[in-house]
Amino acid sequence: MKKYKAFAKVNIFLKITGTRENYHEIVSRFMQVQDLYDELSFVSKEHVGSKANEFKIIGDFSCTTEQNTIYKAYVALRDATKSEALEKLMQTHAVQVEKAIPAFAGLGGGSSDAATYLKMCNEVLHLNLSLNELAAIGLQVGADVPFFIYGYKSANVSGIGEVVVPFDEEPLAFDVFTPNVEISTPKVYRAYRENFYAPIDGFRAQQLLQTPSKEILQTMNAEEANDLFAPAMQSYKELKDHYRQGYFFSGSGSSFFTTKDKEVANG
C-alpha cells in the first residue's frame, strides 16, 4: 500500500498580534523540514487482527485513539462529507503510522498526520474536495493543519492559523534537536498572556511577513524571533539546560533548530 509523507515544520518566527476569544492571533513563517517526516498508509485489518467496528491506528502514540489527531480528522471528514465510502474504508482498513516526528515538540507532527490522513482519504476515495475545503475541515482539528494541507515548502501563517499564504523562497535545510521535555502548548500561551503579553503592531508584522527566512535567522535571536521562547523557558526551567547558542525555538517547543548553512547560523 502507498505510503504518504507527513512532513514536520519549524517556525522561523512566531509573533503574537492579539487575541480572539480564547485564541492568540499570530503571524508566523512556517517552513517544511524536508528530511523529517512520519509515513502514513492504509493497511487491511485482516493483516493486523483488528475488529471491523473500531477505528484503528497502528503506531507509537501515547494518547488514546479518541485523542489522536488522525481520529479527529476522520470525525471532521465524516461529518463534513457523510461519506459511506469513508466509513467502509475505516471498517476494513487501519491507519499505520511510522513515527519519526517527536510529539509535544513544536514541529507540527500531530497536525501534519491529520492533514496527511485527510489528503489520503480524498485521493483514495475520490472525494474531489479542494485544498481549501480540506483546509476548512482540518482547521476543526487544529490551527496548524491548513498549512500541512496546502503542502507549501514555506508560507506565512496568520490569524489563528487559518490564513496560509505561500512565501516564495528557497527551502532551507535544518538541524533539529528535541530535548526530552514534554511541553503543554496551552501552559506556554498562558504564561505568555500572564507575564509577557506584548503583541506586535501591524507595521512590524507586515515587515516580518515580507522578510526572507534566511535574513530573519541572520538578524534575530531565539527570543526576538519567537514570542513563546521566554514563556516556555519560564514554565519549563529544564529547557535552559538544552538551549544552544545560535539555535532557534519552534512553536511552543520543545524543539530547537538551526540551519545547516553555517553562514546563516552564525548570524
* pLDDT, tens digit (0-9, with 9 covering 90-100), for 8-66: 999 999 999 998 888 889 999 999 999 999 999 999 988 777 777 889 999 988 888 99
> How high does pLDDT run on average in the chain?
93
| One domain for residues 9 and 140 | yes
Strands 93-98 and 57-58: parallel
Three-state DSSP state, 185: helix
Burial of 117-137, coded b for 16+ CB within 10 Å and e otherwise, reads bbbbbbebbebebeeebbbbb
- How many separate domains does the chain show? 2
* pLDDT, tens digit (0-9, with 9 covering 90-100), for 116-151: 999 999 999 999 999 999 999 999 999 899 999 999
Give the residues across from 96 on adjacent strands.
41, 58
31 and 12 Cβ atoms separated by less than 8 Å: yes
| One domain for residues 38 and 121 | yes
The secondary structure of residue 153, as a DSSP letter, is S
Q: Quote the pLDDT of residue 103.
A: 87
Q: Quote the pLDDT of residue 265.
A: 46
Output the nine-digit C-alpha cell for 163: 490564513
| One domain for residues 216 and 162 | no
- Phi/psi at 173 (nearest 5 deg)? -100, 135
Output the nine-digit C-alpha cell for 25: 492571533
Q: Quote the pLDDT of residue 162.
A: 86
Report the catalytic residues. 9, 144
Nearest CA-CA partner of 172 in 32, 37, 36? 32
| One domain for residues 50 and 156 | yes
CB atoms within 10 A of CB 53: 7
Considering 123, 143, 166, which residue would you say is the last residue of a domain?
166
| One domain for residues 179 and 102 | no
Q: Quote the pLDDT of residue 263.
A: 53
| One domain for residues 195 and 101 | no
CATH number, domain of 116, equals: 3.30.230.10
Query: Residue 111: which H helix or E strand, with range?
Result: helix 109-124
| One domain for residues 47 and 115 | yes
Rg (CA), the chain: 19
Query: Residue 94: which H helix or E strand, with range?
Result: strand 93-98
- How far apart, in Å, are the Cα atoms of 34 and each of 8, 143, 205? 8, 21, 26
Give the residues across from 33 on adjacent strands.
8
| One domain for residues 247 and 128 | no
Considering 166, 188, 203, which residue would you say is the last residue of a domain?
166
Query: Residue 204: which H helix or E strand, with range?
Result: helix 202-210
pLDDT at 157 over 90: yes
| One domain for residues 123 and 209 | no
Name the one residue in this structure whose C-alpha cell is 535571536.
221
| 262 pLDDT tier (thresholds 50, 70, 90) | low
Domain range for 241: 174-265
| One domain for residues 243 and 187 | yes
| One domain for residues 183 and 160 | no
CB atoms within 10 A of CB 96: 18
* pLDDT, tens digit (0-9, with 9 covering 90-100), for 191-238: 999 999 999 999 999 999 999 999 999 999 999 999 999 999 999 999
Q: Quote the pLDDT of residue 266.
A: 44
Output the nine-digit C-alpha cell for 266: 552564525
pTM of structure: 0.93
| One domain for residues 110 and 207 | no
More confident residue, 6 or 185: 6
The secondary structure of residue 34, as a DSSP letter, is E
